[in-house]
Copies of this chain bind each other. A is one copy, B any other.
Amino acid sequence: MQPFRSFYNSEAQMIRGGFPQPFISRTYKTSFLKKRSNAEIKVVAAKKHSEAEKRRRMRINGQYETLRTILPNLIKHGELDCVMNQQKDKASVLAETIKQVKELKRKVSKLEQDSCGNSSKDVVKFPSGADRLNLERCNDEEGVVKATLSCEESLGLMSAISRAVGSVKTKVVKAEIVSVGGRNRSVLWVKGLGKDRMGMLKSSLKIAMHKPAFKMRRSTH
């Protein structure tokens, strides 16, 4: 079954049964036993080694397998070709992977460029139906907090928001305001806001959002 003909195997075999027992002196016996145990240690080490190597191979092959499942490079060759269900070889799997990664990257950059750059520049979100208020530190710019709010549009909403921002002694460096169907969505980029005053700004904005003021309606009849 096993075509395994290792150096250690044969040596161990030879040592195990190859000597005439009666003529072994004490010292020889000692060295023999020592050698024998050395050999056996080697055999054990070799086994361990080969098992570790097997595990490594299995790990790698497992990755190939999942790679095969997530990429459309398996089976099928032509159109109404035979149903050759056999999988491609490793090199081809890798080649196909490389091809697809490149293709995906190209696609992503095209799509990203298509919707042009950092989406907030030329993609505008409509106000959400439910009232919302969210403050978060901006990833792109150090020390900038991005405040996003959706609420009912009202006369004086803008000045209320303005006052709220002014009350925490900060500066709005950029804003994005969308007003649709009586709803408002505003995004404010606020600079110079200490961590301790984020809560203050949040509550100020909350008040501004819900300040009782008469609502704007599309028709005035």
Q: Which residues of A contact B (CB under 8 A)?
A: 5, 7, 56, 59-60, 63-64, 66-67, 70-71, 90-91, 94-95, 97-98, 100-102, 104-105, 107-108, 111-112, 114-116, 122-126, 128
Contact = CB atoms under 8 A, between A and B. Distances in A.
A46 to B, nearest CB: 14
Contact of A126 (B101, B111, B123): B123
Nearest to A110: B111
A197 to B, nearest CB: 26
Contacts of A114: 115
A94 B125 contact: no
User: Most B CB atoms within 10 A — which of A5, A64, A111, A128?
Assistant: A111
CB-based closest 3 A-B pairs: A63-B94, A111-B111, A104-B104
A59 B91 contact: yes
Contacts of A59: 91
Contacts of A123: 123-126
A122 B185 CA distance: 12
13 contacts: A63-B98, A66-B98, A67-B98, A71-B101, A104-B105, A104-B108, A111-B112, A115-B115, A116-B128, A122-B126, A123-B126, A124-B124, A124-B126
A104 B66 CA distance: 16
Contacts of A7: 5
Contacts of A94: 60, 63-64, 67
Contacts of A91: 56, 59-60, 63
Contacts of A125: 115, 122-123
Given A63-B91, A114-B115, 12 more contacts: A59-B91, A63-B94, A70-B102, A101-B101, A108-B108, A111-B115, A115-B115, A115-B125, A122-B126, A123-B123, A123-B126, A124-B124
